[in-house]
Amino acid sequence: MIEVLVLVAATGAMLLVWNRVQVARSMDETDTSVAKHGVLIQAGVNKYINDNRLTFLNSAAPAITGFSAPFAPTMRELQASPADNPYIPSGYNLANQLGMTYTVNLSLLPAGCTPNVNCTDVTGTVVSVAPLLDPTTNPAMADGKRVGNIANKIGIDAASSKVGAGTLLTGPAGDWALTNPRGNVPGILAMRVGYGSVASNGLDHLLPRDGSRPMAGTLRLGGNPIADASTIAATSHISTTGGNITTNTGSITTTSGSITTSSGSITTASGNITATNGKVSGTYFAPGVQTPGASCTDLRAIGTAANGAVLVCRGNAWRANVGPFAEKGDACTRPGQLATTWTTDEAVMCRGTTYVSLANQIGKYVEISRQSVVDGSVVPHATCDVGGTPTFRFGMVQTAVDVSSAPPKQVTNLTAIANANSWTVSYKLRDDMGNQTSANVYNLQALMYLECKYP
């Protein structure tokens, strides 16, 4: 009788643990769905900003069809406009699985700027209307831990207000923060949009290579040259204070300006240089083929490598012209902006307010695919790019406890045996004595993630 009671108690304990695992898994799946919902809402607002950016920048009272208050578009307005391709898909639930809905607030940059005078960009936030509450508490209290987990799943653009610090919305790992517009309310979920957000990243405001969008302001090259152009057409003038204007096969043209060089040359190998009233000025284009990394003395010189790449004399060495430039540790104001170091040509990224090494910000493991497996499954290696090594990890889908034997088999042993170009899955239930049974007996499956690891 005692043995039966012990067995029943053990079984009950194991079922309790199993139930908690299932609850945790269900919560995690829900949080992932909520995060994906937030990312879709953020993407819709970013597209709304990009489509109407010039209207915001150039009008003191912007009017956008379908939006009663353009700087505070509602979720329903975003789902209704444009009619043929709305910013939020038609029929999409505007509340996430936890019942949270959002409001949008946009503003111009820099703060206090005057539209059509000195405004340069649009930024904003998407903020939940109410906090996420923990239904297991009485009275219900903010579930700061869970909303923080959701923010982490959304990514670096998401933030949440913590219990004990409800006046602040804080990004993942404290990377950024701003005042909570809901006041001292923990459990609020928010996402930044427009300029300053990684999802937008300011890339829409760069000049497209295909010429699909005109510039809205002055193109500033920071003293760097324009080389290998086919045709340069200007309505006023083309000028440089110290450098060459060069084209190998094409024309440099201005209809009502000047082309002038004070101490350089204007050169085209097989094209025209035409100016009705214009100006072109520059230094010089170094003759011959230059070697990247080789020494040079004239910091105004421009050269070409054997493969045709444009080089500039920078730091007394011929280097590829891949600005903007910054050193690790330099201050920055545009999170997510990429740059190159002056001395080593290393890629750096603006993280917070400081440039850091880009290589350290990129994940070393890349998921290629995933599949359900059983004991004995043979799974081919993922196909990796150059430098990648196939690897894997498991995600438990099912487990069990076999109490029909003594001692019970309650330890799950899940691994994979390496073959030349594949892995053989070993999925067993094992007791404390080392005896094991194939998980196939219990119809158990696991989820195998196939990944590539990079240096």
* pLDDT tens digits, 199-244: 655 455 556 555 545 666 677 776 677 777 666 666 666 666 656 6
> Residue 435: inside a domain, yes or no?
yes
- Domain termination site, one of 194, 217, 245: 194
Q: Which residues contact 51 (CB under 8 A, 6 or more apart)?
A: none
* Domain encompassing residue 101: 31-194
> Residue 82: inside a domain, yes or no?
yes
**Which pLDDT score is estimated for 202?**
45
What mean pLDDT do residues 173-190 have? 91
Q: Report how far residue 205's alpha carbon sits from residue 186's, in angstroms, rounded to the nearest whole number.
A: 35
**Which pLDDT score is estimated for 267?**
64
Tell me the β-bridge partners of 331. 354
Check whether 75 has a pLDDT greater than 90: yes
**Which pLDDT score is estimated for 284?**
56
What mean pLDDT do residues 368-373 have? 92
Check whether 295 has a pLDDT greater than 70: yes
**Confidence bin at 167 (pLDDT 50/70/90):** very high
Q: Report how far residue 23's alpha carbon sits from residue 146's, in angstroms, rounded to the nearest whole number.
A: 14
The angle formed by the CA atoms of residues 92, 96 and 101, to the nearest 5 degrees, is 95
Q: Report how far residue 64's alpha carbon sits from residue 54's, in angstroms, rounded to the nearest whole number.
A: 11
What mean pLDDT do residues 301-328 have? 81
What's this model's pTM, rounded to 2 decimal places? 0.45
For residue 359, give the DSSP letter. Answer: G
> Residue 266: inside a domain, yes or no?
no
**By the 8 A CB rule, do 320 and 345 touch?**
yes
Check whether 281 has a pLDDT greater than 50: no
> Residue 296: inside a domain, yes or no?
no
Q: What crossing angle do the helices spanning 2-51 and 144-154 adopt, rounded to 10°?
A: 50
> Residue 250: inside a domain, yes or no?
no
Number of structural domains (the chain) is 2
Q: Report how far residue 97's alpha carbon sits from residue 111's, in angstroms, rounded to the nearest whole number.
A: 35
Q: Report how far residue 61's alpha carbon sits from residue 63's, in angstroms, rounded to the nearest whole number.
A: 6
> Residue 84: inside a domain, yes or no?
yes
> Residue 353: inside a domain, yes or no?
no
Q: Report how far residue 280's alpha carbon sits from residue 259's, in angstroms, rounded to the nearest whole number.
A: 3
- Domain termination site, one of 141, 162, 194: 194
**Tens-place pLDDT, residues 126-137:** 999 999 998 888
pLDDT averaged over the chain? Answer: 82
In 3D, which of 386, 444, 391 has the Cα closest to residue 414?
444
- Domain termination site, one of 135, 165, 194: 194
> Residue 432: inside a domain, yes or no?
yes
Check whether 278 has a pLDDT greater than 50: no
